[in-house]
Structures are given as C-alpha cells and as structure tokens.
C-alpha cells in the first residue's frame, strides 16, 4: 500500500510539472512568432532546470516532502520560464497601441502559432487576446499545479485554505492589468515597466507555502491571581517580539509587501499624476487600502495577544458559574429553588458521592436547565 502511495505521489509531481512545461513552452513559442527573433528560443534552457528538478523530486520524493515545505522550486522555475515571454508580449502590445491610431487595427486580425516540424496548435486569436489568455492560464496552472503536487506534511484543511487564497490572489493580480486599458498609462513607458514589475513580484507569492492556519494545543489553565496577571503583563513585550516569527505574521507580511502594498502605491500614483478618476481605479484603490489596513490591524492583534488570554476568560466565566451554584445551593437548602435536590444513588468508580442540583432559568426564547454537582 505504501508503494502504491509513493507511485501515485510521483505521478502527481510529474503531472504538475508537465503542465508547467506545456504552458512555458507555448508562451515562448508565441513570443518567438510575434517578435520574429529565433534567439528567444534560448528561453527554453529553463526547461532543463525544470527537468532536473523533476528527476530529483521523483527519485527523492520522501526527503523533499519534509525538507522543501515552505518553498516550491518547481513553481519558481516555471515562473522564470513563463514570465519573460509575457514581458516581451506585453511590451510589444504596448508599442503597437502607442503607434496605432485605434485599437481596431490590432484586435481585428487573428493569428495562430507557426509550424514547428509540421506541428502547430489549431487556435486563432487576436494578438491582444493571445497575451491575455497566456497570462490567465499562467495563474490557472499555478493553482492546478499546487493542487496536483503532493501535499507533503501540509494537512488537507490547510491545503484547501491555501488554494482558496491562491484563487483570491489570482483575481487581484489580473485586476492590475485593468490599468492598461487607460490611454495615459499606455503612453507612459516607465509606468508600464512599473506595473509589469509589480505583477512579477506578486507572482513570487506562489513559490511560498505560508498559511495562516493555526491549530493551538488545548491546555489547562488554573485560576489566576493578581501575581500571575502581573507576570503575564510583564512578559507581553517578549511574547510580542516572538510572535513576529510565527507563520501567520509572515504570511500577512508577504501579502502586504508582495501584493496589496505595491498595488496600492501604483494605483495611487496613477490617480494623483494623471488624475485618472474612474470607477475601476477608485474601486480597486479603496479595496487595496482597506486590505492594507485590515492586514496591519491583524498584525497588531496577533502581536498584542496575551498567551492564555482566552483560557483566562473561560476561567472567569467558570468562577461566576461556581458562585451561582453556591448561591442556588443555599436557596435550595431553605426551599426557595424551583426544583428540590436529588441525591446521587450511584457514584462513578473512584469518585465521591455528591448531590446533583438542577436550576431552571427562563429566557425570551426558551428555557435553559443547567446541572451541577456538589461533592459531599
């Protein structure tokens, strides 16, 4: 059974890398056709690194699953092979937009890939649509590849949450190219380079496996007194500094500095310099601003959280419950309770006998009947 599991994991690793290889090869193929430069085929040298990584992964799968948990070299190699052709295609499209009078001359013509030893893809699209399809399939294959690849020590729950995060990230990343629909942006070469750079940096998030999933161990907390509360307050700065090294805080910083922060800066620059006040620009700028504020607030909450604070609140509730039990016991002793106490007839093994009291409190929506036991 273990051997079948290993073979299936090897098949998953190979299939994911096959998707990466196909997409990067088609992107380089399209880039070579558009620019007419055969030297661009040298970009396929990155496939050698992908093949070597695939062989190493398939031969030493068990070792890599435990060691390469926070970084994915396959995704990094895939991005290094697919991103440069997309850069060339985007810059070529921007040049054509800048030199043409209207967009109809570009979008009206449909093109297909050239023949390579009699092999071609029977698909005809406009030049602008070719670039958009390659960019969207890049993000799609990143999500599918991460789903197909062996999950290693990551739990299924953490993997599912990570895939949902990837979907949200992909949607936000594609929204950045909405800026290329504005004429002012198309005419600014440096701004176009800045947008492509920010887009490239945001893709590096997919190489990192940082999840905010947290499964703290449940521990018992005794009733705290004044001295313990004082010690907890004194230890708060040290605990705050240590929490910066947690996975949750690092994942927040990655999202803040790799995506939401740069996206907000680019959109604010476009609005201030070009007075580009449109619905899309305002909406996405406000969204990025809100996300940045929420991420910073989340960091503050995590770093100022006192260890055992939730357990202390539960203990406070327990103290109030015990006091109510003692009060109800006194009321039962003078016959003011709604129900009379009933003694236990059978005690569990190794436990003391006691009296079980039952009080009834009414509410607007119904009745709640707590039970408690007082040892003799």
* pLDDT tens digits in sequence order for the chain, 376 residues long: 467 777 888 888 889 999 999 999 999 999 998 888 888 899 999 999 999 988 887 777 655 554 455 778 889 999 999 999 999 999 988 888 777 654 445 555 777 787 776 677 777 888 888 899 999 999 999 999 989 887 766 778 878 888 888 898 898 898 888 888 888 888 888 899 999 999 999 999 888 876 544 443 333 333 334 344 444 444 444 455 555 667 778 888 888 899 999 999 999 999 998 888 888 888 989 999 999 999 999 888 888 876 655 556 556 666 667 677 777 776 666 654 444 444 444 444 444 444 444 444 444 444 444 444 444 4
Are 87 and 65 in the same domain?
yes
Same-domain status, 343 and 298: no
Domains: count for the chain = 3
Q: Are residues 282 and 299 in the same domain?
A: yes
Which of 137, 122, 150 minimizes the C-alpha distance to 15?
A: 150
Beta bridge partners of 372: 357
Q: Which residues span the domain enclosing 361? A: 310-375
| 90, part of any domain | yes
In this structure, the answer to whether residues 147 and 160 fall within a common structural domain is: no
User: How far is residue 147's CA from residue 164's CA, in Å, rounded to a whole number?
Assistant: 11
- Answer yes or no: is 222 within a domain: no
- β pairing state of 367-368 and 371-375: unpaired
User: What is the torsional sign of CA 357, 358, 363, 368?
Assistant: positive
- The answer to whether 144 and 3 have CB atoms below 8 angstroms apart is no
Of the three residues 135, 153, 171, the one that is the final residue of a domain is: 153
Structural domain contains residue 14: yes
Residue 12: burial class (beta carbons within 10 Å; 0-12, 13-18, 19+):
middle
Residue 360 included in any domain: yes
**Residues 77 and 139 both lie in one domain:** yes
221, part of any domain? no
Establish if 201 belongs to a structural domain. Answer: yes
Is residue 347 in some structural domain?
A: yes
Predicted TM-score (pTM) of the model is 0.71
Do 182 and 73 belong to one domain? no
- Of the candidates 268, 285, 307, which is a domain's last residue? 307
- Examine the domain organization and report whether 242 and 120 are in the same domain: no
Of 289, 307, 325, the last residue of a domain is 307
Pair (247, 322) in one structural domain: no
- Considering the domain architecture, whether residues 1 and 149 belong to the same structural domain is answered as yes
Indicate if 241 and 164 belong to the same structural domain. Answer: yes
- Domain assignment of residue 339, yes or no: yes
Q: Are residues 285 and 332 in the same domain?
A: no
Residues 56 and 98 in one domain: yes
């Amino acid at each position: 059974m273990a051997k079948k599991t290993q073979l299936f994991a090897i098949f998953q690793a190979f299939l994911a890398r096959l998707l990466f290889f196909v997409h990067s090869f088609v992107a380089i193929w399209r880039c070579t056709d558009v620019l007419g430069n055969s030297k661009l085929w040298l970009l396929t040298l990155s496939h050698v690194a992908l093949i070597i990584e695939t062989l190493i992964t398939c031969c030493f799968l068990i070792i890599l699953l435990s060691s390469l948990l926070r970084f994915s070299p396959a995704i990094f190699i895939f991005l290094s092979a697919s991103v440069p052709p997309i850069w060339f295609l985007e810059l070529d499209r921007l040049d054509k937009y800048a030199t043409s009078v209207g967009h109809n001359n570009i979008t009206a013509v449909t093109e297909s890939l050239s023949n390579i030893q009699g092999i071609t893809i029977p698909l005809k699209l406009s030049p602008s649509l070719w670039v958009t399809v390659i960019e969207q399939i890049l993000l799609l294959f990143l999500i599918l590849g991460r789903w197909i690849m062996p999950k290693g020590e990551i739990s299924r729950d953490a993997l599912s949450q990570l895939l949902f995060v990837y979907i949200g990230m992909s949607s936000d990343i594609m929204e950045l190219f909405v800026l290329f629909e504005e004429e002012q942006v198309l005419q600014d070469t440096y701004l176009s380079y800045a947008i492509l750079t920010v887009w490239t940096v945001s893709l590096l998030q997919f190489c990192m496996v940082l999840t905010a999933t947290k499964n703290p161990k449940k521990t018992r907390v005794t009733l705290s007194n004044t001295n313990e509360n004082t010690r907890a307050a004194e230890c708060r700065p040290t605990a705050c500094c240590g929490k910066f090294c947690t996975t949750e805080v690092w994942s927040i910083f990655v999202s803040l500095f790799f995506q939401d922060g740069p996206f907000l800066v680019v959109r604010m620059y476009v609005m201030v310099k070009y007075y580009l006040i449109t619905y899309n620009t305002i909406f996405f700028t406000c969204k990025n601003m809100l996300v940045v504020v929420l991420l910073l607030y989340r960091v503050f909450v995590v770093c100022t959280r006192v260890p055992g604070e939730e357990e202390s609140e539960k203990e406070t509730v327990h103290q109030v419950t015990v006091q109510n039990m003692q009060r109800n016991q006194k009321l039962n002793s003078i016959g003011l309770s709604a129900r009379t106490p009933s003694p236990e007839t059978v005690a569990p093994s190794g436990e003391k006998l006691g009296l079980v009291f039952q009080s009834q409190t009414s509410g607007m929506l119904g009745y709640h009947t707590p039970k408690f036991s007082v040892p003799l």
